[in-house]
Every structure is written in structure tokens, then in C-alpha cells.
Amino acid sequence: MAPRILLARHGQTAWSLSGQHTGRTDIPLLEEGRRGAKLLGERLHHEPWSGLPGVEIRTSPLARAAETCALAGFGERAEPWDALMEFDYGGYEGMTPAQIKEVRPDWFIWRDGVPDGETLAAVSARADEVVAWARSADRDVLVFAHGHILRAIGARWLGEDISFAARIRLDPTSLSVLDWAYGLPAIQVWNDTGHLAP
């Protein structure tokens, strides 16, 4: 079996709702985010996933991802991993894209990066570390993390430059699955939030 990687983005927070860049600021889930995490867990504990027996699980140590993991019912099986932490936004932490564009009108994070924060090369290297780990053994993996680092992982799984992450949006509490087609890395499911539907 060729290994797959399941990506779970954390539930809704006040800053993800407002569109603020939330890197290393450790803010909690909103009630909506906690509810979404439980619904994601219910989905993964029923067919066809059946609780993902034998799947190796890791989570960002930041509270919003770790809490999503725990509420989904995987906290005891998950190992925290710094490689899954969100992009360090440096001077743009807590700002919305609109606020940033007031001072840098042509700013584009996937091209320009951020001041006094993590470089795009460093984010790409962390994504490569996660991809290498996911492909390292004959088993699937599940990770709980954040929007931009998960998009970077998606891009690098496909062998694309990190800038490709701009083209693959990711909503809170979404589920994505990266696997293989014709022997090449592929996207099986992306940004699926069907478990959140009323």
C-alpha cells in the first residue's frame, strides 16, 4: 500500500473568522470550532474510516490544533510535532490581508513572505519534512494543523513550489486526503467540509 496523508485543519477561532493571520499566537477554538471538531471526529470514526486503526497521528502543539485533535477523539494517539506549527507571520501576526495591503498594496504572502518572520524557504522545508515522514513507511498518517502549513504540505506533496499553495484554499475543520494516481502524488479529496453541513 502506498501511504496516504490525511490533513485536518483546526476548527474555527476568532482570528480565522476575522481573517487575521494567526501564526504562533495560541488562541482557543470558538464554540463553533469545538462543534466542528467533534463532527469531524464522528466522520472519521464511522465508515469508511472506522477510527483509522493503524494510522499514525501527529498534531501541531498549538492549542487550536491540539484541541481539534482531542475533540475529534484522537488526542491519546497523537504525538505533537513542531514541524506542523503554523507559518510564523512575524510583523504581520494578527493582521488581516486588507490591513497589510494598506502599507504594501501589491503584497502576496506566497511570493513576498513576511517581515521578521519565517521565510518561505523555511516553511517549504518544514512541509518537505512532513511529506518525507508521511512517505516513510507502509501506513497512512493523519495530521491536525493549520491553513497555511497544510496548504504548503499539499503543494510539496504534489512536487510543486510552495507558491502553488495559493491555489488550494482550506477552510477551518476541513478534511483533505493526499494519495497517489498512476504512481504519481495526487489529491484524492481537498477542503471537504461535508461533515459540517446541517
126 is in an annotated binding site: no
25 is in an annotated binding site: no
User: Of the residues 21, 56, 67, 86, which is catalytic?
Assistant: 86
Query: Apex CA 85: angle with CA 21 and CA 159, to 5°?
Result: 95
94 is in an annotated binding site: no
Cis peptide before 48 (omega within 30 of 0): yes
Query: Apex CA 49: angle with CA 46 and CA 50, to 5°?
Result: 55
Question: Quick check: is 31 catalytic?
Answer: no
Question: Quick check: is 45 catalytic?
Answer: no
User: Of the residues 10, 21, 146, 148, which is catalytic?
Assistant: 10
Strand (E) or helix (H) holding 186 = strand 184-192
Q: Which of 9, 16, 51 is nearest to 140 (CA)?
A: 51
The three-state secondary structure class of 165 is helix
Q: Are 71 and 31 in contact (CB under 8 A)?
A: no
How many CB atoms are located within 10 Å of the residue 31 CB?
9
Please state the φ and ψ torsions of residue 137, each to the nearest 5 degrees: -150, 170
Annotated binding site: 22-23, 64
Query: Annotated active-site positions, please?
Result: 10, 86
Annotated binding site for substrate: 22-23, 64
